């Protein structure tokens, strides 16, 4: 049975609302990814798993010339349209399937924030990303931190299995546990060159919003973010 990657219906609506100002999404992962992006003025950017459009909105505000967002959830894309309007070109598409609607070497930057670990068809998607990126273009990927998952779920650090994490009222997030070796190995084997690696901690704004999660990110690793280059 094929994995369900997207957050549909009420689950997507809840995620869209929480991601707006949450300690984890808004004040840990997003600042790290935007920092890795650097100067995006004039760039053509692909946002894979664009969700409710938070990253796309920030990239446009920072001067990106073109942003294309792709997500498998219509409820999240609805939230993205409300946030961005006509500022980005948004596509409803399952990331487990090839990106056949995107042209070769048509992007300078690809952003994949907290979606990679949900996917089964990662090798296929990385090949598609390499195809649509221009030579010298950058790929940004964030994921749950391997040691953070190990601490939370227990068992073997080297477990290669899907984990289920409670979310909201009765929802469950399903994603792959991966070692650091596997995560980086897949990206490097796909032909990308590692440029930077971050273990993000929550920004100061999160201290007032959610002090427990702020402290957690400053005491144990929760996320991992990398910038890679397509040779």
Q: What is the pLDDT along the chain (231 residues), one digit of tens a residue?
A: 355 667 877 777 877 787 899 999 999 999 999 999 999 999 999 999 999 999 999 999 999 999 999 999 999 999 999 999 999 999 999 999 999 999 999 999 999 999 999 999 999 999 999 999 999 999 999 999 999 999 999 999 999 899 998 887 888 889 999 999 999 999 999 999 999 999 999 999 999 999 999 999 999 999 999 999 999
Alpha carbon distance 38, 214 (integer Å): 24
What pLDDT was estimated at residue 1? 39
What pLDDT was estimated at residue 4? 61
What pLDDT was estimated at residue 3? 52
Enumerate the β-bridge partners of residue 107.
133
How many other C-beta atoms are found inside a 10 Å radius of the C-beta of residue 63? 11
Ranges of beta strands (E only) in the chain are 44-48, 66-71, 89-92, 107-113, 133-144, 162-167, 171-176, 193-198, 223-229
Crossing angle of the two packed helices 146-153 and 180-189, in degrees rounded to 10: 140
What pLDDT was estimated at residue 173? 87
Q: What secondary structure does DSSP assign to 206-222, as a single string?
A: HHHH-HHHHHHHHHS--
**3-class secondary structure, 22:** coil
Which helix (DSSP H) or strand (DSSP E) does residue 172 occupy? strand 171-176
Please state whether beta strands 133-144 and 223-229 pair in parallel, antiparallel, or not at all (unpaired).
Answer: antiparallel
What domains does the chain contain, in order, with CATH numbers?
9-229 (3.40.50.150)
What six digits make up the tokens of 199?
Answer: 């273990």
Alpha carbon distance 88, 81 (integer Å): 8
Helices (H), 2-121: 9-19, 30-37, 54-61, 74-84
């Amino acid at each position: 049975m094929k994995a369900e990657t997207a957050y549909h219906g009420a689950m997507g609506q809840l995620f869209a609302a929480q991601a707006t100002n949450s300690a984890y999404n808004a004040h840990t992962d997003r600042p790290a990814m935007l920092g890795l992006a650097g100067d995006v003025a004039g760039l053509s950017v692909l946002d894979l798993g664009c969700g409710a459009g938070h990253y796309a909105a920030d990239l446009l505000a920072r001067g990106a010339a073109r942003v294309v967002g792709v997500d498998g959830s219509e409820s999240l894309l609805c939230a993205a349209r409300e946030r961005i309007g006509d500022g980005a070109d948004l596509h409803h598409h399952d990331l487990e399937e090839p990106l056949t609607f995107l042209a070769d070497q048509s992007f300078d930057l690809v952003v994949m924030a907290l979606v990679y670990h949900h996917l089964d068809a990662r090798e296929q998607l990385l090949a598609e990303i390499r195809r649509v990126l221009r030579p010298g273009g950058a790929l940004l990927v964030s994921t749950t931190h391997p040691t953070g998952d190990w601490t939370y779920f227990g068992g073997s650090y080297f477990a290669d299995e899907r984990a289920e994490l409670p979310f909201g009222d009765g929802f469950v997030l399903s994603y792959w546990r991966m070692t650091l070796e596997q995560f980086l190995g897949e990206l490097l084997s796909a032909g990308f060159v590692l440029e930077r690696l971050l273990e993000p901690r929550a920004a100061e704004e999160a201290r007032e919003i959610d002090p427990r999660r702020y402290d957690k990110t400053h005491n144990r690793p929760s996320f991992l973010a990398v910038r890679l280059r397509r040779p």
